[in-house]
């Protein structure tokens, strides 16, 4: 019988010739992700009685969830993370302002096709856009990985989502994901490998693809997978070459050797499911049949077409997060904002996903367009997503957001409402002062 991507990926990660869904394996991930919570993980790590991380070269750490530090406690946590990074010799560390871990590690080509990455963030599923096995785990599990280099995992059953066609104007992969989750429920992919197939995937831009496995965390998925193609390989090749040049300039022979090896195996290390692989569930979506969708409070699967929710007044519109904080997203928002102003009753915020995104947006004129419309730009990072700062709503306020979660209190205020939508819908709503369809604003 053929094998799914998940079965192949965890066979590789556990050093076995093959695995089967339901099997327990001892996985040795290629990368271990953490962010601001590294400080808390380190305290757990020390309780294990271990002094040194077994494989510090595998660790990837950002400061991104509460940046710049909004409180003394956050600042203290950041100081502890920096100290840990120095003590353990962690190579892949990114400071305040570089951006959100999932975006930054993609930009830095630290995760490659066929790799396994486990991380103390639920959206580690994000790396499925690269053809990697990415899964979120708990802090104690990350501490164990630091100590031993391995962790037991149950090989997930897999479901197959066949995607065909092309997206219509003003419809995005965020709308596709909301449609899928609305149809099957927020537990529809629970502990499954959600594997995407079909000619529709290859027609999507790379930034559009990134949205899909990221949002599958809200579907309950253990991991998600998109098959890597030449566009993905070219993206990674260019970024690996950039890292190689930097390592050569620093005369870092260890890093040079590692990157040269990754370049040599970039395509051959990719994994693809077999045509005869067994899936527990299969569904199909035609992208051309989709329309803008909105998730209403307080569940991500409380989804409706925008025609059913438009007109709801909003006080805050927010662009950003690891789901929709990229260049393509601010470009779509600016297509709506250009020559228009944010409504007097509404405020529009943007947290770029990374410094690279912010710099490109500045060069392309998107920053000027956004500011001229009355928008507010904050530091690259997670921003208001988990209610730390930079956009906490007041009691009774309504936020329309390009984020991934809308449960009660997610943005810091239980007595408020969060609607989820694409960046274009967020921008249109900011202009109208109510939830609005960009097709009616722009024409």
Q: Which of 219, 26, 64 is nearest to 141 (CA)?
A: 26
Residue 385, annotated as binding a ligand: yes
Residue 322, annotated as binding a ligand: yes
Q: Where are the beta strands (DSSP E) in 13-168?
A: 24-27, 31-34, 59-62, 92-94, 116-119, 133-136, 151-154, 157-164
* Spatial separation of the C-alpha atoms in residues 350 and 111, rounded to whole Å: 26
Residue 382, annotated as binding a ligand: yes
* Spatial separation of the C-alpha atoms in residues 286 and 277, rounded to whole Å: 22
Q: Residue 191 in contact with residue 222, Cβ under 8 Å?
A: yes
Greatest distance between any 2 Cα atoms in the chain: 63
Q: Which of 197, 201, 269, 272 is nearest to 237 (CA)?
A: 269
What are the angstrom distances between the C-alpha of 245 and each of 238, 251, 257, 360? Answer: 11, 10, 12, 21
Residue 289 three-state SS: helix
Q: Which of 385, 372, 327 is nearest to 352 (CA)?
A: 327
Q: Establish whether the linkage from the previous residue to 298 is cis, with ω within 30° of 0.
A: yes
Q: Which residues are annotated as a binding site?
A: 322, 382, 385
List residues forming the annotated binding site for [4Fe-4S] cluster. 322, 382, 385
């Amino acid at each position: 019988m053929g094998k799914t991507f998940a079965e192949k990926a965890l066979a590789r990660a556990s050093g076995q010739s093959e695995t089967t869904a339901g099997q327990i394996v001892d996985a040795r991930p290629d990368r271990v992700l953490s962010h601001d919570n590294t400080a808390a993980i380190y305290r757990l790590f020390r309780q294990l009685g271990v002094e040194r991380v077994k494989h510090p070269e595998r660790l990837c750490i950002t400061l991104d969830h509460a940046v710049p530090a909004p409180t003394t406690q956050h600042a203290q946590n950041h100081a502890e993370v920096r100290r840990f990074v120095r003590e353990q010799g962690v190579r892949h560390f990114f400071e305040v302002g570089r951006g959100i871990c999932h975006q930054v590690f993609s930009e830095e080509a630290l995760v490659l096709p066929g790799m396994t990455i486990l991380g103390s963030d639920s959206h580690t599923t994000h790396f499925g856009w690269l053809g990697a096995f990415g899964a979120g785990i708990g802090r104690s599990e990350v501490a164990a990985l630091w100590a031993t280099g391995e962790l037991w995992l149950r090989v997930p059953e897999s479901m197959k989502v066949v995607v065909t066609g092309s997206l219509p104007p003003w419809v995005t992969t965020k709308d596709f994901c909301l449609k899928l989750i609305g149809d099957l429920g927020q537990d529809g992919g629970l502990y499954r490998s959600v594997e995407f197939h079909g000619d529709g995937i290859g027609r999507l831009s790379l930034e559009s693809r990134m949205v899909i496995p990221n949002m599958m965390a809200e579907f309950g998925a253990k991991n998600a997978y998109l098959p890597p193609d030449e566009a993905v390989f070219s993206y990674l090749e260019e970024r690996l070459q950039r890292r190689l040049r930097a390592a050569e300039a620093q005369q870092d022979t260890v890093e040079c050797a590692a990157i040269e090896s990754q370049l040599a195996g970039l395509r051959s290390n990719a994994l693809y499911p077999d045509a005869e692989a067994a899936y527990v569930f299969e569904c199909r979506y035609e992208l051309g049949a989709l329309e803008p969708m909105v998730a209403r409070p307080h569940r991500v699967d409380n989804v409706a077409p925008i025609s059913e929710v438009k007109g709801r007044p909003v006080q805050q519109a927010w662009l950003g997060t690891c789901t929709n904080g990229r260049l393509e997203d601010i470009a779509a928002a600016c297509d709506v904002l250009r020559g228009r102003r944010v409504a007097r009753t509404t405020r529009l915020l943007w947290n770029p996903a990374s410094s690279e995104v912010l710099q490109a947006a500045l060069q392309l004129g998107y920053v000027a367009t956004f500011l001229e419309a009355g928008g507010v730009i904050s530091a690259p990072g997670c921003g208001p997503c988990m209610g730390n700062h930079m956009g906490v709503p007041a009691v009774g306020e309504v936020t329309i957001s390009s984020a991934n979660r809308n449960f009660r209190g997610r943005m810091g205020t239980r007595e408020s409402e969060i609607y989820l939508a694409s960046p274009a819908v967020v921008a249109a709503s900011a202009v109208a002062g109510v939830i609005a369809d960009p097709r009616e604003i722009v024409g």
